[in-house]
Amino acid sequence: MNALITGSGCSSGQEDPEEENDLLPGGWPVGFLREHFQCLRCGNCCRWKGYVRISLEEIEVLAEFLGMETERFINEYTRLLPDRSGLSLLDKPTGECLYFDENKGCLIQEVKPKQCRDFPFSWQVPGWDRICEGGRALRRFSLRSEETAFLKPGKRQESEKHGE
């Protein structure tokens, strides 16, 4: 998966949702998601192919965290975005983040870029809540919760029919 859906720092250029009842593209109200989503550190978002945009400030913080000069970090660990609008972290040949370790998780957790911290509140990929363990837990919770009036009856019935 490599299509980013929404949010600042991502490909669409749309504004971040601000109102608690604003719906994100997957149909989740911002307030509900902010209140109930919990990252379970499954690393599935780190495995999606795509770009992790980073600002100059983030580059400086990452370089310092990794114990290297900023220029070396830029030259060895970033790439120019296709539209030449900024830089992105390099990724592994598999498409997963260069800083994701299967056993340790995020190797830069303490200083990870804003784009990573903002998932899934400001950006998502289609079907993220079926792939991300935190999203899957949120779906299970939403099917049991009285707070899920935002789910349309047909959508709720369809989800329940599939045992999600």
Q: pTM of the full predicted structure?
A: 0.68
Q: Is 32 in the same domain as 75? A: no
Whether 11 is in a domain gets the answer no
Structure token pair of residue 87: 């830089």
CA atoms within 13 A on the CB side of 85: 9
Of 29, 28, 34, residue with least CA distance to 118: 34
pLDDT at 48: 85
Mean pLDDT over the full length of the chain: 78
Distance CA 155, CA 164 (A): 11
Q: Is 61 in the same domain as 115? A: yes
Question: For the chain, how many residues are written?
Answer: 164
Instruction: Looking at mean pLDDT, say which of 2-6, 144-148, 152-156 comes out highest.
Output: 144-148
The radius of gyration of the chain from alpha carbons, rounded to an integer in Å, stands at: 17
Q: Which helix (H) or strand (E) holds 54?
A: strand 53-54
Position with higher pLDDT, 151 vs 45: 45
pLDDT at 135: 87
Instruction: Looking at mean pLDDT, say which of 27-31, 70-74, 114-118, 149-153 comes out highest.
Output: 70-74
Res 82 pLDDT > 90: yes
Average pLDDT over residues 20-41: 76
Q: Is 24 in the same domain as 64? A: no
Domain count, the chain: 2
Whether 4 is in a domain gets the answer no
Please report, rounded to a whole number, the percentage of residues in the chain having pLDDT higher than 70.
Answer: 71
Q: Is 130 in the same domain as 95? A: no
Structure token pair of residue 135: 């999203």
pLDDT at 102: 92
Domain span at 137 = 17-37+122-164
Q: Is 58 in the same domain as 89? A: yes
Which residues are bridge partners to 59 per DSSP? none
pLDDT in tens, 88-144: 999 999 999 999 999 999 999 999 999 999 888 877 888 888 888 888 888 888 766
Q: Is 57 in the same domain as 90? A: yes
pLDDT at 18: 54
Structure token pair of residue 24: 């994100």
Q: Do 91 and 49 contact (CB within 8 A), yes or no?
A: yes
Q: Is 84 in the same domain as 131? A: no
Whether 6 is in a domain gets the answer no
Burial class of 25 by CB neighbour count within 10 A (0 to 12, 13 to 18, 19+) = middle
Q: Is 128 in the same domain as 151? A: yes
**CA–CA distances in Å: residue 148 to residues 13, 68, 83, 132:** 28, 48, 39, 20
pLDDT at 156: 39
Question: Cβ–Cβ contacts within 10 Å for residue 112, how many?
Answer: 21
